[in-house]
Every structure is written in C-alpha cells, then in structure tokens.
Amino acid sequence: MNNLEKLSMAIEFSNNLIADYAQNKTMEISDQVILALYRKFVELSDGIWVNADHELHRPSDL
C-alpha cells in the first residue's frame, strides 16, 4: 500500500466519523481530535490530488 492509498483510507475514516456525527449529533472528544488532525494532515499533503480523488471542491469540504 503506497502513501496515497493510506491517505485515502484516512480520509474515508474521517468521512465516516462525520457521517456518524450527522446522524447522532454527538461526538467524543477523541473523535474531534482525530478529525482535526486528519484535516491538518490533508491541508499539508497534496491537496490537489486529495480533492480530485474524493470529489471535493475545496479543503473546507472535509
């Protein structure tokens, strides 16, 4: 598994956390920290590839 595939898995994981939050309207503090770290990681990584691969318009869509 290459680094881009690992990044893709991390983004999918964070998308699932957000989806769970949208349904339950509650989020553990640890999940909030994880999401913040993932978002920062994505901002520091190759943003163009990430946006294209996950059909996002901008990093704030994460």
Q: What is the pLDDT of residue 23?
A: 92
* pTM, 2 dp: 0.57
Compute mean pLDDT per 10 residues along the chain, 62 residues long, and list them. 81 85 87 82 70 67 57
Distance from CA of residue 12 to its chain's centroid?
Answer: 6
For the CA atoms of the chain, what is the radius of gyration?
A: 12
CA–CA separation, 29 vs 7, rounded Å? 22
Query: Side-chain half-sphere of 16: how many Cα atoms within 13 Å?
Result: 6
Q: What is the per-residue pLDDT for 4?
A: 74
In this prediction, residue 61 carries a pLDDT of: 58
Q: Please work out, in degrees rounded to the nearest 5, the angle formed at the alpha carbon of residue 22 by the alpha carbons of 20 and 26.
A: 75
